[in-house]
Chain A
Amino acid sequence: KQEVTQIPAALSVPEGENLVLNCSFTDSAIYNLQWFRQDPGKGLTSLLLIQSSQREQTSGRLNASLDKSSGRSTLYIAASQPGDSATYLCAVLPFFSSNTGKLIFGQGTTLQVKP
């Protein structure tokens, strides 16, 4: 059974710092991995999607990497800003259920960027 873990559960950093959020998964047979942002009381906003054949994806100050063999993904945020404060969730799509599109989520890392 695929399990997704995100550590730490919470992170507080000063503005301007570069930071890394971690996501690990127990079964390397994934089709893709997606990173989401969730503001308090709101829905999920898709940030980056990495296919299993890819090593990384970049969007602005965000860079997500994928190491399927070790069951890890990282989300790198450069030059953090207070507006980056939110909960970041990673989700995997298992390979053998890829046709369903059913995602398995981690519990999230809540980030606070202090001015």
Chain B
Amino acid sequence: DTGVSQNPRHKITKRGQNVTFRCDPISEHNRLYWYRQTLGQGPEFLTYFQNEAQLEKSRLLSDRFSAERPKGSFSTLEIQRTEQGDSAMYLCASSSIRTTGDLNTEAFFGQGTRLTVV
């Protein structure tokens, strides 16, 4: 397994356009997370899935944002009508939640998608 994969690595778009990012998690991981990171800051949680179910969304995720994880495999994050404030690094992470013994929550991150809205 090659780890968490994100595409594209970079995206430049004009304000008002729609963009879609893809994340392929580690194959046996049932949890998938999206985070957003702006320059000089740590990542901030956006949303997460367990299998195909989206279990939580942050207030940061306005109604212009939508995420899906069909069939519990890869995930997409779409931003509609992009704004300059959406410019950031979008990070995907996956983990395998085990409920026997210690809860194993170690997260593995992808290389991110750098979005620039001009």
Contact = CB atoms under 8 A, between A and B. Distances in A.
B111 interface: yes
Nearest to A98: B103
Contact of A101 (B41, B48, B110): B48
A91 B44 CA distance: 10
B40 A107 contact: yes
B107 A46 contact: yes
Contacts of A106: 42
A106 B91 CA distance: 15
B43 interface: yes
A89 B93 CA distance: 15
Given A91-B42, A101-B33, A102-B33, A44 B48 contact: no
A105 B40 CA distance: 12
Contacts of A4: 42
Given A43-B111, A46-B108, A93-B105, A102 B44 contact: no
A41 interface: yes
Interface string A96-115: 00111111111110000000
Contacts of B43: 44, 89, 91, 103, 105
Nearest to A101: B105
B112 interface: yes
B105 A45 contact: no
B74 interface: no
Given A89-B42, A105-B42, A34 B91 contact: no
B45 interface: yes
Interface string A9-43: 10000000000000000000001101010000111
A51 interface: yes
B6 interface: yes
A49 interface: yes
Contact of B109 (A46, A98, A104): A46
B87 interface: no
Interface of B: 4, 6, 31, 33, 35, 40-45, 48, 55-56, 89, 91, 93, 95, 97, 102-103, 105-112, 114
